[in-house]
Amino acid sequence: MASPLRSLVYDDNRYQKAFHLFLERSSEHQCMQDFIRNILPDIVASIGNGKSHLISIGVGSGDGRIDLEMFSELRLKHPGVTVDHEVVEPSSQQLHSYKVLVSQKSDLDYITFKWNKMTASEFEEQWELKQMTKKADFIHMIQMLYYVKDVEATIRFFRSLLDKDGKLVIILVSDESGWGKLWRTFRGQLCACQISQLVTTADVKNFLDSEGVQYKSYVLPSQMDITECFTEGDESGELLLDFLTEVYRFSRTASPQLKADVMKLLRDPACSLVADGKVVFNNNLEVIVADSPR
């Protein structure tokens, strides 16, 4: 039976609002920053093979905050290099925020930003159309693989662009997170459209294993305060619920039974810790660093 639920991704305005609220209520970016400061330096130290000009690609870079943090570490390991950075981002709102952020910084002269207002698959088409042969040293896809039609084809294409010693960094929710549990339980009922895939790093690892690709992985412990979701009619709670289920206006459009089942699981110990009147959802992420095929 066709699902009557609409995906949140089709409404960029509401998606962006929900995403920003999620960032406020979670330690999502803090745990990525810890990773960037503590583990990424060794990873970027191994790329480039002594080259003075590096090529990087950010797929689904959002407003660029995380990209720029990564560049700070890359710069420390490769002082004096110049970088071409291809930003692949379909949301004009996000791309605009990224450009504003870049314009406010004075220490980014070594980076040439190439703005690609398009999806990952449109970028792939363009790349092939222009018969591009240049290879990238560093590619990242952070919290974006949920939004592509074909996760495996996307990984395969971008990995094929890596130069020798290049690295592909993927960050998604971990299979052991509350997200993993929620999506495994309701996949059939929530997956409202082709482009909202409820993927976790377990899916990516299975794929890389089946292709014989070498990779390393790191779990990033993270939490999200979802207490507001349990106050009927609370506007922030409704936005967070949309973000959790990836369904547009979930509270108003889901059947009472599905809603009740989702709410029950959200506060179940499999997903959350309930203490001191707060419901704290397990938002653990996982980073996968895949090697170049060369």
Residues that bind ligand SAH (CB under 6 A): 19, 59-62, 66, 88-91, 94, 119-120, 142-144, 147-148
The nearer residue to ligand SAH, 143 or 253, going by C-beta atoms, is 143
The nearer residue to ligand SAH, 142 or 208, going by C-beta atoms, is 142
CB of 20 to ligand SAH, least distance (A): 10
Write b or e for each residue in 152-173: b if 16 or more Cβ atoms lie within 10 A of its Cβ, otherwise e: bebbebbbebbbebbbbbbbbb
Backbone φ and ψ for 140, nearest 5 degrees, come out as -130, 150
H helix or E strand, kind and range, residue 160: helix 151-160
Place of tokens 């989702």: 262
CB of 57 to ligand SAH, least distance (A): 11
CB of 148 to ligand SAH, least distance (A): 5
Q: Which two tokens stand for residue 191?
A: 């997956």
Give the span between the Cα atoms of 178 and 106, in whole angstroms.
40
CB of 58 to ligand SAH, least distance (A): 7
The nearer residue to ligand SAH, 30 or 214, going by C-beta atoms, is 30
Give the span between the Cα atoms of 245 and 181, in whole angstroms.
12
The answer to whether the CB of 254 falls within 8 A of the CB of 190 is: no
Provide the CA 226 distance to its chain's centre, in angstroms.
20
The nearer residue to ligand SAH, 149 or 164, going by C-beta atoms, is 149
DSSP 125-174: HHHHHTT----EEEEEEES-GGGSS-HHHHHHHHHHTEEEEEEEEEEEE-
CB of 136 to ligand SAH, least distance (A): 16
The nearer residue to ligand SAH, 244 or 279, going by C-beta atoms, is 244
Residue type, 172: L
Q: Which two tokens stand for residue 35?
A: 């990773």
CB of 91 to ligand SAH, least distance (A): 4
The answer to whether the CB of 18 falls within 8 A of the CB of 252 is: no
The answer to whether the CB of 16 falls within 8 A of the CB of 94 is: yes
CB of 64 to ligand SAH, least distance (A): 8
The nearer residue to ligand SAH, 149 or 278, going by C-beta atoms, is 149
The nearer residue to ligand SAH, 220 or 279, going by C-beta atoms, is 220
Residue 265 CB neighbour total at 10 angstroms: 16
The nearer residue to ligand SAH, 98 or 279, going by C-beta atoms, is 98
Any idea what DSSP says for residue 5? P
Dihedral sign for Cα 242, 246, 252, 255, please: negative
CB of 223 to ligand SAH, least distance (A): 16
